[in-house]
Amino acid sequence: MATEIKTENTRFSVGDAGQVMRAARAALAEKLRDLAAYHMDACVRCGLCGETCHVYRSDPVPENLPAAKAAKVVRHFRRYHTAVGRVAPFLVGAKRLTPEALDELAEAVYGRCTGCGRCGLNCSVGADIGVIIRTGRNIVAAAAKVPSNLQTVVDNQLNTGNQMAITVEELRETAAWLSEDLQLEMGDEDVRIHVDEPGKRVFYLVNPREVKFFPLSLSAAAGVFHAAGESWTMSSRFYDVTNYGLYSGDDDAAARITRQVMEEAARLGAEEVVLSECGHGFRSFRWEGPNWLGEAYPIKVRSMLEIMLEYIEEGRIKVDASKNAERVTLHDPCNLVRWGGVSEPQRKILSAVVSDFVEMTPNREQNFCCGGGGGMLSMSEYGDRRVRSGAVKADQIRATGAKIVATPCHNCADQLLEVNKKYSLGVEIQAVCELVYNALVTG
């Protein structure tokens, strides 16, 4: 008989409880092919990882210890995949998957961790706790217990092509008026936001946030493309650079989102996909996407940062650093830098387009998460924790004395806007391409 498992985190009815647990166990078993068991067996729960985590630093309770969050996943691994865990679970802290255990797991892996992976880099033994946490999310997603607001974003992407359910008409209207503004601003009637134009070299993906609320970065990117003489277009249907399947732990959904975008790129005949400034979008499309699909992409995928640096280095755009005279610091998005390997292009760009660039400490792969990663921004139930965990980043920003925080991630930008208010930092948050656009020397 079908049973509705009702918890705060359950969004929709699922099959009977046995089916749910079997699905969760299957997700755990599947994830072991990603070598997650190596890391689960490596963590010795030494507890030295606390200070590496922005969530623990801002609220040092035992539950926020990365090892404690990992332990919530490892106990299920031990129950189903170790001999002692099967025979005498109490000896090794093994635990069966139950609806209650899944709720606890969800609270730990969604509510207390952004999956930034900083703890793994600083782990005393080298265990990648980020992989363990994502295994936890895979399990919870398989049991259909993803926090409802996060699941809504995934559903929007699957059903409408973009996470904010923006209609095709709205996208086209926005592109039209942004183009008019840009023509006036640049004094050039040819500049515009290209939509649904086949045969262009670059297929550009943006964060729907740019279309809906913060169009400056979209028009800045259009301005940079135009100045570089780039052949580019967006799609009115599949233009979303984000992929919330990465956050929810639903790899099937993540694969479908990836596929619809890559098929659109092929339909438009693009030679290259360029990703707007988005940390998890970069990680999803550049690194995880081919593995979700189980095949290599036929075309190249790059970040907007990489292509802007190419324009500068090849002299395709001219920039004047004195146009950005205020002190600028840089926030490194975890998924772009630690998980994505892109740390230097943004630095080279900023060194060229601003006159006073200062680093945060620590930075690059050792950066602290802003607190908004891992889908936290969409999970309102954890909003207080999210903003509190931004205190670490606020301290880093304050110490630089910067007036502008550049961040190549719209997710981070949203969190930093809140952090800016909450901790009275008095800074502006800008995308890197906005600073490049501002420094352009035209004519």
Edge-to-edge, what's the strand order for the sheet holding 327-330? Answer: 356-358, 327-330, 404-406, 428-430
Under 8 Å between Cβ of 181 and 222: no
Q: Which is nearer to another protein, 144 or 336 (CB)?
A: 336
The reply on whether position 49 binds another protein by CB under 8 A is yes
Query: Counting contacts by CB under 8 A, is residue 367 touching another protein?
Result: yes
Q: How far is the CB of 407 from another protein (least distance, A)?
A: 17
Identified binder of another protein from the candidate list 356, 359, 395, 428, rule CB under 8 A: 359
Q: How far is the CB of 243 from another protein (least distance, A)?
A: 14
Decide if residue 15 touches another protein (CB under 8 A). Answer: no
Among 108, 127, 353, 370, binds another protein (CB under 8 A): 127
For another protein, give the closer residue by CB, 125 or 184: 125
Query: What character string, x for contact with another protein (CB under 8 A) and - otherwise, covers 128-147?
Result: x-------------------
Least CB distance to another protein at residue 105 (A): 14
The residue (of 120 and 223) whose beta carbon lies closer to another protein is: 120
Contact between 380 and another protein per CB under 8 A: no
Output phi, psi for 303, to 5 deg: -85, 150
Is residue 348 part of the contact set for another protein (CB under 8 A)?
no
Selected from 48, 165, 168, 321, the binder of another protein by CB under 8 A is 48
Q: Is 395 in the site for another protein (CB under 8 A)?
A: no
Give whichever of 301 and 379 is closer to another protein, judged by the CB atom: 301
C-alpha distances out from residue 195 to 40, 176, 187, 241, 261, Å: 46, 9, 21, 15, 14
Per-residue x/- mask for another protein, residues 419 to 438, rule CB under 8 A?
--------------------
Q: How far is the CB of 33 from another protein (least distance, A)?
A: 5
- Tell whether residue 383 is a contact of another protein (CB under 8 A): no
106 binds another protein (CB under 8 A): no
Q: How far is the CB of 10 from another protein (least distance, A)?
A: 26
Task: Give me the least distance between CB of 173 and another protein, in Å please.
Answer: 36
Question: How many residues of this chain interact with another protein, rule: CB under 8 A?
Answer: 69
Which positions ≥6 away from 115 have C-beta within 8 Å?
130, 133, 134, 137, 247, 334, 373, 374
Q: Which of residues 263-292 bind another protein (CB under 8 A)?
A: 286-291
| Least distance to another protein, CB of residue 384, Å | 22
Pick the binder of another protein from 1, 90, 187, 314 (CB under 8 A): 90
Task: Give the one residue of 32, 168, 216, 268 binding another protein; rule: CB under 8 A.
Answer: 32
Site membership for another protein, residue 300 (CB under 8 A)? yes
CA distance 334 to 47: 22
3-state secondary structure the chain: CCCCCCCCCCCCCCCCHHHHHHHHHHHHHHHHHHCHHHHHHHCCCCCCCHHHCHHHHHCCCHHHCHHHHHHHHHHHHHHHHCHHHHHCHHHHCCCCCCHHHHHHHHHHHHHCCCCCCHHHHCCCCCCCHHHHHHHHHHHHHHCCCCCHHHHHHHHHHHHHCCCCCCCHHHHHHHHHHHHHHHHHHHCCCCCCCCECCCCCCEEEEECHHHHHCCCHHHHHHHHHHHHCCCCEEECCCCCECCCCHHHHCCHHHHHHHHHHHHHHHHHHCCCEEEECCCHHHHHHHHHHHHHHHCCCCCCEEEEHHHHHHHHHHCCCCCECHHHCCCEEEECCCHHHHCCCCCCCHHHHHHHHHCCEEECCCCCHHHCCCCCCCCCHHHCHHHHHHHHHHCHHHHHHHHHHCCCEEECCCHHHHHHHHHHHHHCCCCCEEECHHHHHHHHECCC
Residue 246 contacts another protein per CB under 8 A: no
The interface region with another protein, picked from 77-85, 97-105, 227-235, 418-426 by CB under 8 A, is 77-85
- Nearer Cβ to another protein (30/188): 30
**Least distance (Å) from another protein to the CB of residue 2?**
32
Nearest approach, Cβ of 310 to another protein (angstroms)?
Answer: 15
Interface with another protein (CB under 8 A): 32-35, 37-39, 41-52, 62-63, 65, 67-68, 71, 81, 83-84, 90-93, 120-128, 286-291, 293-297, 300-301, 337-343, 359, 361-367
